Amino acid sequence: MTNFFDRMFGKNNKPGTGATAKARLEFVLVHDRINLPPERMAAMKAEILEVIAKYVSYDHEMVDISLEQRDRSSALVADIPFQKAKDVLASDEDYDSDLKSWEESKIQQAEAEFDDATGKAQDITEPSFIDDDELNPEAEGDDED
């Protein structure tokens, strides 16, 4: 029945090979025009992302780097959404493990110091303060006046 109506009203929703031809041409011409075959393009993308990863965390799933045509010139258009700050913290395993190992090393250090002092915590040398009286004898004299 739908076929009947399609034929009746000259409707044809199925895209023909003409559309395929256009899409294939657009793809091949983008690479022809800048003389960069798809493989080299993929290598360039990977390298760009490597550099970006050195500085910021980005959402791997959402990355879109592609060549766009503006009339007859080509442009590299990169859409690389950064991860939100809280996601960065929550998901940054390196950061978490760094923090953990830092805490562990501090605890170990403290324990080691405890052992060195034969069961007793080492005497902590109190910072010595210069006596106010010695430094400033006149101050007392002022009081007496």
Partner 1 sequence: MGARVVTVTSGKGGVGKTTTTANISVALSRLNQRVVMLDADIGLRNLDVVTGLENRIVYDIVDVVEGRCNLRQALIKHKQFPSLYLIPAAQTRDKTAISPADMLDIVAKLKPEFDFVIIDSPAGIERGFRNAIAPADEVLIVTNPEVSAVRDADRIIGLLEAENKQPGKLVINRLKPDMVKKGEMLSADDITDILALDIIGIVPEDEFVIPASNSGVPVTLNEDSKAGLAFQNIARRLLGENVPLMDLEQQPGFFRRLVKLFNG
| Region from 14-22, 58-66, 102-110, 127-135 binding partner 1, contact rule CB under 8 A | 14-22
| Region from 7-15, 60-68, 76-84, 114-122 binding partner 1, contact rule CB under 8 A | 7-15
- Letters for 20-39 (x = contact with partner 1 by CB under 8 A, - = none) are -xx-xxx-xx--xx------
**Helix (H, G, I), strand (E, B), or coil: what is residue 64?**
strand
| Largest separation between any pair of C-alpha atoms in the chain | 119
**How far is 70 from 96, CA to CA, in rounded Å?**
45
- Letters for 58-97 (x = contact with partner 1 by CB under 8 A, - = none) are -----------x-xx-------------------------
10 part of the interface to partner 1, by CB under 8 A: yes
**Helix (H, G, I), strand (E, B), or coil: what is residue 70?**
strand
15 part of the interface to partner 1, by CB under 8 A: yes
**Listed residue (67, 48, 68) closest to 58, CA to CA:** 48
Helix H segments across the chain?
2-8, 17-34, 38-55, 85-91, 93-116, 132-135, 137-144
Residue (71 or 123) nearer to partner 1, CB: 71
Please say whether the beta carbons of 59 and 82 come within 8 A.
yes
Q: How far apart are the first and last CA of the chain?
A: 117
Residue (16 or 137) nearer to partner 1, CB: 16
5 part of the interface to partner 1, by CB under 8 A: no
Interface residues with partner 1 (CB under 8 A)?
Answer: 4, 7-10, 12, 14-19, 21-22, 24-26, 28-29, 32-33, 69, 71-72
